[in-house]
Amino acid sequence: MDYSELVEVYEKLEKTSKRLEKTHIISEFLKKVRTDSLPQIALLLQGNIYPAVEEKKIGVAAKLVLKAIAASTGISSDKVENQWAKTGDLGKTAEELIAKKKQHTLFKTDITVKKVFDNIRKLSSLEGEGTVARKVDLISELMTSASPSEAKFIVRTLLEELRVGVADGTLRDAIVWAYFGKDIGFTYNAKENDFDVKDRVLYQKYADAVQTAYDKINDFSEVIMVAKDKGLAGLEKSSLKPGSPIKVMLYPKAEDFKEAFEALGKPAQIEYKFDGFRIQAHKKDGKVILFTRRLENVTRQFPDVVKFVEEHVKGDDFIIDSEAVGYDVKTKKYMPFQKISQRIKRKYDIHEVAEKFPVELNVFDVVELNGENCITKPFRERRKLLEKIIPKEVRFKIKIADAIVTDDVKKAEKFYKESLEAGNEGVMVKSLDAPYQPGRRVGGGVKIKPVMETLDVVIVGAEKGEGKRAGWLSSFLIACRDEENDELVEIGKISTGFKEKTEEGTSFEEMTELLKSLIKEDKGKIVVVKPKIIIEVAYEEIQKSTEYSSGYALRFPRLVRLREDRGPNDASTLNEVDVLYNKQRGRHS
């Protein structure tokens, strides 16, 4: 397939902010794509070259792309950089400069999707002497043959900043519309930007099947092939694969045990809610692999946890869900997440750091065991399986999460108090009959915490500091997720809670370093950044506001902690903000 055909789709997507219209554009395009190109197309539609489950990254800096633009256009790097400063978008800069070049030459060869995909993939595998020059050559080869609009999207793909707004939900629905539209009697009304289906029950079944397959596989390039070639039956047979991370099950907040029991039924299991970080432990071919909730492989950073699992969990292969909780070596009391968070990204002196900040692995679920998919089993059965595969608990190494099963509110509240006194965040309340639902926040359980719910928000912009904060970014624009429209929406600015000195906690300098490589637009005092960094914030109140795109503003937001274990898809949703707004001060929707 010619890359120009994909670029036409990009341009249509870029021109609309309507999610349903985007879904329709993609679904119509997918119908035309040949099977052998589908895996690449599925990734490229979201600006990806590798699926989320693979650790490989393109790893191309803007400065290197700038050199390639200069090499392919014959324009000096300084002039390219000056143009970039004007546009704030290196993709747009490439488009404008390639357009000027094309006015002076008739040279143009068609480039294929495969050529673009293969060249960009080669970039991540290059190592050793002369790597920069070879990378520039690979990019220049594409740019020389590209049309202006093709150049724009090649550059944006290289920088992992596609800007066409195709989130997971959009691509999921497009797959359903494209391959199952006839089965469900699907029609799209462009004038009303709405759709209708004759069989809504079947439609929901297909949508759930695609979503569930993706939650298990975490690779749309594989899901799309299954959907097209094997249909609903194939999607429903999609299996978990030890060694390949799945999306973890998530839980909404409940106000109290009365609300929890009403939602989940009685009796229910009450578990400690730990202030640690999620670890998904896999065993495959005798090897233990650890993943965070962001699907990052952290096996190397936690040799102690690997040893705990190897020595104390029985099974040839499995996937277990757990929380690694830090504890004080002297007092043996649990420590807050922030104290041990540095272990996640640690690359050096790993064993020394493990001794300084030890963790206890608290296991609370099993989703695959010895080739058997356990996610459809009710929770009570999964808990029994845990007790079989972890027959001997070792305090401060590995144990099954403390829990009770009860239908008594007073017993539940007593256990809740014990959890808080142990240094935990609160408790989880889980339905005994619920399956494990990867990536879902409904049906399986709720969490109960003693304070007003904090929010996990994404940093999407920042202001440059002045005075004693000159040289740092010192005020951060934050956003939550609008799931309905598959976008991030702003909810306020935050500067309180950050420290002047790094040794005192999360500092302005540390945040500046984290965000520096993520800056995609520099507008003088303001910068726009790629949405990668998550922070947990507390606030005094949620207010209605027309200043921010969410329709809300956080009053007096303050930093609680940096969440290295979470990504943009883990950010709090606009729906959650709605619920919190309506509950505060006795308000009801």
DSSP 8-class letter at 329: T
Residuewise pLDDT in 10s, the chain (589 residues):
999 999 999 999 999 989 999 999 999 999 999 999 999 999 999 999 999 888 788 888 889 999 999 999 999 999 999 998 888 889 999 999 999 875 545 555 689 999 999 999 999 888 888 899 999 999 999 999 999 999 999 999 999 889 898 989 999 999 999 999 999 999 999 989 899 999 999 999 999 999 999 999 999 999 999 999 999 999 999 988 899 999 899 898 888 999 999 999 999 999 999 989 999 999 999 999 999 988 889 999 999 999 999 999 999 999 999 999 999 888 888 888 877 887 887 778 888 888 888 999 999 999 999 999 999 999 999 999 999 999 999 999 999 999 999 999 999 999 999 999 888 889 999 999 999 998 877 779 999 987 667 899 999 999 999 888 888 999 999 999 998 888 899 999 999 999 988 878 899 999 999 999 898 888 889 999 999 999 999 998 899 999 999 999 999 999 999 998 888 988 999 999 998 888 775 443 3
DSSP 8-class letter at 359: E
The confidence score (pLDDT) of residue 108 equals: 57
- 267/430 Cα distance (integer angstroms): 9
Q: How far is CA 54 from the centre of its chain?
A: 13
Q: Give per-residue burial for 436-461: e unless 16+ CB within 10 Å, then b.
A: bbbbbbebbbbbbbeeebbbbbbbbb
The confidence score (pLDDT) of residue 222 equals: 95
- 14/91 Cα distance (integer angstroms): 13
CB neighbours (10 Å) of residue 502?
Answer: 12
Supply angle C-alpha 442, 447, 449, rounded to 5. Answer: 150
Residues annotated as catalytic (active site), given as ranges: 273
- Backbone phi, then psi, for 284, in 5-degree steps? -145, 130
- Going by C-alpha positions, the residue among 177, 164, 248 that lies closest to residue 210 is 177
Inter-residue contact 499 to 507 (CB < 8 Å): yes
Which domains are delineated in the chain?
Answer: 257-448 (3.30.470.30), 455-586 (2.40.50.140)
Inter-residue contact 189 to 180 (CB < 8 Å): no
- 176/487 Cα distance (integer angstroms): 20
| Nearby residues of 373 by Cβ (< 8 Å), 6 or more positions away | 239, 240, 367
- 578/558 Cα distance (integer angstroms): 20
The confidence score (pLDDT) of residue 586 equals: 47
Inter-residue contact 321 to 367 (CB < 8 Å): yes
- Per residue in 443-490, pLDDT (tens digit) is 799 999 876 678 999 999 999 998 888 889 999 999 999 988 888 999
The confidence score (pLDDT) of residue 284 equals: 95
Tokens for 129? Answer: 């002497």
- 447/264 Cα distance (integer angstroms): 12
The confidence score (pLDDT) of residue 224 equals: 97
In 237-326, which ranges are continuous DSSP H helix?
A: 257-264, 303-312
- Backbone phi, then psi, for 234, in 5-degree steps? -65, -40
In 50-184, which ranges are continuous DSSP H helix?
A: 62-73, 77-87, 90-102, 113-125, 131-145, 148-158, 168-184
- 116/94 Cα distance (integer angstroms): 16
- 224/56 Cα distance (integer angstroms): 21
- 425/433 Cα distance (integer angstroms): 25
CA dihedral of residues 454, 475, 548, 457 (deg, nearest 10): -30
- Backbone phi, then psi, for 38, in 5-degree steps? -60, -45
Tokens for 7? Answer: 């670029």
According to DSSP, the residues that pair with 253 across neighbouring strands are 447
Inter-residue contact 447 to 428 (CB < 8 Å): yes
- 78/135 Cα distance (integer angstroms): 20
Peptide bond into 148 cis (omega under 30): no
SS3 95: helix
In 341-408, which ranges are continuous DSSP H helix?
A: 350-356, 379-389
SS3 525: coil
According to DSSP, the residues that pair with 427 across neighbouring strands are 272, 448
pLDDT > 90: percent of the chain: 72
- Going by C-alpha positions, the residue among 173, 157, 172 that lies closest to residue 220 is 172
Element (H, E) at 21: helix 19-32
List of E strands, 285-351: 287-291, 318-326
Inter-residue contact 111 to 150 (CB < 8 Å): yes
Inter-residue contact 365 to 354 (CB < 8 Å): no
